[in-house]
């Protein structure tokens, strides 16, 4: 009976093939971990090699910006800029109403969802904007390249781009610059052709803020576990590379650098494994907050106090921090930066100056100002620094409840 055999072999082959296909991004993880994890002779500080994304000049500039006073209204940080170098925009001046276009990398995580809602609310504030045409690239470079080309044919007065990746999108952005004034925000591109590039201070400041907190709070010799989402993304690589610099200069021992894919169950298992393997972990550094509650729970479930740890400005973590009295801090990558491109677009179309690189302030949440950012009426995955509290439709539009 040859048929069952063929079927069996085919099915087994397909199963193996499909199992391989579900592997999302392990290759980098494997390489990174062999240098950082429990290899026979780990490097002295356990932090592995420096990231190839690390640029010393950018690192120095970002760390310096943390102590500089931003220009602009203090109660509207999304309009503030640190060390702005204004550029003239008189050539783009025109009469309204204005049609804005937006090529969005994705809306596939809570950070981008909060930001996207905030941007739409900002558009609604301005009568002189006749409409915002937005295309979602769904996290795909090739789709965003064709989105950008498509939007150029829609008669936009300004094209706003939030690039999916840096290098691949650069040619598409360069081509668009020749047709229409371009504003880039969030992630950067490798060209200075956009009229303005809007971003918070950046990943180095984020990573350094979190690492410096642990260096201050954890006694010398303490064991640090670093949790990262995934390798190879510039805004995340810079966070870790700045933390590496801080940990290398400290007396702390980094016992592991692990990737969690932003998955709570994976993060919790990784932390549980490290607690078992090392007996105790004295501090947890994180490059984003998505899994920070799961990390705290891993210590609780092991019957241990939660050590000093870092997170981000998501409400679930802030609530856990407050309720359980954690020793914690949260650097932020504020979602209020989604308001700024709309404001910048109007400035450009009215011929007003804008900064060439618009560095937004990047506040950090500490035990002292935690209560300011904790919003019990907002959903668990809402980001506190949306700058949307004064906007029409808040809080319902962001999933919150009144009261």
Partner 1 sequence: MRRTLPILAVLAVLLAAIAIANPFFLEPAGFLGFVRRAAPLVILAAGQYFVIVSGEFDLSVGSLVTVEVVVAARLIDGNEGATWPVLLLLVVLGLLVGLANGLVTTLLRVPSFIATLGMMLVLSGAVFLWTGGAPRGALSEGFRMFGRQTGWAVLILAVTALVVVLLTRADFGRTLVATGDNERAAALSGVRVNRVRILAFVLSGASAVVAGILLGGFAGVSAQVGQGLEFQAITAVVLGGVVLGGGRGSVVAAMAGALTLEALFTLLNLYGISGALEFTVQGVIIIAAVAAGAVRLPFAHPRRSKGDAHAAS
For residues 253 and 216, give the distance between their C-alpha atoms in angstroms, rounded to a whole number: 14
The CB-of-52 to partner 1 minimum distance in angstroms stands at 19
CB of 126 to partner 1, least distance (A): 26
Nearer CB in complex with partner 1: 131/376: 376
Q: Closer CB to partner 1, residue 32 or residue 80? A: 32
Residues 249-268, interacting with partner 1 (CB under 8 A)? 261-268
- Count interface residues toward partner 1 (CB under 8 A): 56
- Which of the residues 359 through 388 are near partner 1 (CB under 8 A)? 379-381
41 is a site residue for partner 1 (CB under 8 A) = no
Q: Which of 219, 303, 325, 403 binds partner 1 (CB under 8 A)?
A: 303
Residues in CB range of 343: below 8 A, 6 or more apart: 78, 79, 122
Q: Computed from CA positions of residues 23, 236, 104, 191, in that sequence, does the dihedral angle turn out positive or negative?
A: negative
How open is the CA angle 11-16-20, to the nearest 5 degrees?
145
Residue among 366 and 401 whose Cβ is closer to partner 1? 401
Q: Is 164 helix (H, G, I), strand (E, B) or coil?
A: coil
Tell whether residue 293 is a contact of partner 1 (CB under 8 A).
yes
Cβ 220 vs Cβ 248: under 8 Å: no
Closer to partner 1 by Cβ: residue 44 or 220? 44
33 binds partner 1 (CB under 8 A): yes
Give the CA count within 13 Å in the CB-facing half-sphere of 177: 17
Cα-based distances in Å from 147 to 135, 143, 193, 265: 6, 6, 19, 35
Residue 108 interacts with partner 1 (CB under 8 A): yes or no: yes
- Nearer Cβ to partner 1, position 74 or 265? 265
Query: At closest approach, how far in Å is the CB of 152 from partner 1?
Result: 26
Residue of the chain from 12, 87, 125, 304 that contacts partner 1 (CB under 8 A): 12
* Between 72 and 380, CB nearer to partner 1: 380
Is 69 a binding residue for partner 1 by CB under 8 A? The answer is no
Answer for which of 49, 71, 301, 396 binds partner 1 (CB under 8 A) is 301
Q: Residue 171, Cα to own-chain centre: how many angstroms?
A: 23
- In the beta sheet, which residues pair with residue 86? 355
- Give 50's DSSP letter: P
List own/partner pairs for 269-272 with CB under 8 A and 24 or more apart: 269/298, 270/227, 271/225, 271/227, 271/295, 271/298, 271/299, 272/298, 272/301, 272/302
* Among 24-32, 79-87, 90-98, 176-184, the segment contacting partner 1 (CB under 8 A): 24-32
276 is a site residue for partner 1 (CB under 8 A) = yes
Considering only 58, 234, 273, 352, the residue that binds partner 1 (CB under 8 A) is 273
Q: How far is the CB of 301 from partner 1 (least distance, A)?
A: 7
Q: What are the structure tokens assigned to 362, written together? A: 């990047």
Beta carbon nearer to partner 1, 173 or 270: 270
Neighbours of 312 (CB within 10 A): 23
Could you give the C-alpha distances from 197 to 191, 352, 401, in angstroms and in order? Answer: 10, 16, 34
What is the distance between the alpha carbons of residues 350 and 344, in angstroms, rounded to a whole number?
Answer: 10
15 binds partner 1 (CB under 8 A): yes
Supply 252's token pair. Answer: 């702390």
Of 18, 44, 178, 220, the one binding partner 1 by CB under 8 A: 18
CB of 323 to partner 1, least distance (A): 12
Contact flag: residue 11 with partner 1 (CB under 8 A)? yes
**Cβ-based neighbours of 223, under 8 Å, separated by 6 or more:** 252, 253, 255, 278, 280, 281, 282, 283
Contacting positions for partner 1 (CB under 8 A):
1-2, 4-5, 7-9, 11-12, 14-16, 18-20, 22-23, 26-27, 29-30, 33-34, 37-39, 106-110, 112-113, 261-269, 272-273, 276-277, 293-294, 297, 301, 303, 316, 379-381, 399
């Amino acid at each position: 009976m040859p048929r069952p055999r063929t079927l069996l072999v085919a099915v087994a082959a397909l199963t193996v093939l499909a199992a391989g296909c579900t592997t999302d991004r392990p290759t980098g993880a494997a390489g990174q971990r062999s240098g950082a994890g429990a290899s026979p002779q780990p490097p002295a500080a356990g932090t592995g090699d420096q990231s190839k994304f690390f640029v010393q000049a950018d690192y120095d500039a970002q760390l310096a910006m943390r102590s500089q006073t931003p220009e602009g209204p203090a109660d509207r940080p999304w309009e503030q800029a640190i060390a702005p170098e204004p550029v003239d925009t008189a050539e783009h001046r025109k009469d309204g109403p204005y049609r804005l276009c937006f090529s969005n990398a994705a809306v596939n995580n809570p950070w981008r969802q909060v930001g996207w809602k905030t941007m739409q609310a900002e558009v609604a504030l301005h009568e002189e904007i006749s409409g915002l045409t937005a295309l979602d690239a769904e996290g795909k470079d090739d789709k965003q390249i064709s989105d950008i080309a498509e939007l150029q044919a829609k008669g936009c007065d300004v094209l706003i781009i939030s690039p999916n990746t840096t290098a691949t999108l650069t040619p598409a952005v360069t081509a668009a610059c020749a047709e229409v004034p371009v504003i880039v925000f969030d992630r950067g591109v490798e060209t200075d052709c956009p009229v303005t590039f809007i971003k918070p201070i950046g990943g180095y400041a984020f990573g350094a803020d979190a690492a410096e907190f642990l260096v201050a709070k954890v006694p010398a010799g303490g064991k640090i576990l670093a949790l990262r989402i995934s390798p190879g993304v510039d805004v995340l690589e810079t966070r870790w590379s700045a933390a590496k610099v801080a940990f290398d200069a400290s007396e702390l021992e980094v016992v592991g650098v692990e990737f969690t894919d932003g998955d709570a169950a994976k993060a919790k298992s990784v932390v549980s494994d490290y607690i078992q393997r090392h007996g105790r972990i004295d501090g947890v550094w994180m490059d984003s907050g998505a899994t920070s509650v799961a990390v705290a729970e891993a210590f609780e479930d092991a019957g241990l106090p939660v050590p000093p740890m870092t997170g981000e400005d998501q409400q679930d973590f802030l609530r856990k921090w407050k309720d359980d009295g954690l020793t914690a801090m949260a650097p932020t990558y504020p979602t209020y930066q989604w308001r700024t491109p709309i404001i910048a677009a109007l400035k450009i179309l009215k011929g007003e100056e804008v900064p060439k690189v618009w560095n937004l302030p990047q506040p950090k949440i500490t035990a002292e100002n935690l209560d300011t950012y904790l919003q019990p009426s907002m959903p668990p995955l809402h980001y506190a620094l949306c700058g949307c509290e004064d906007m029409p439709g808040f809080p319902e539009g962001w999933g919150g409840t009144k009261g």
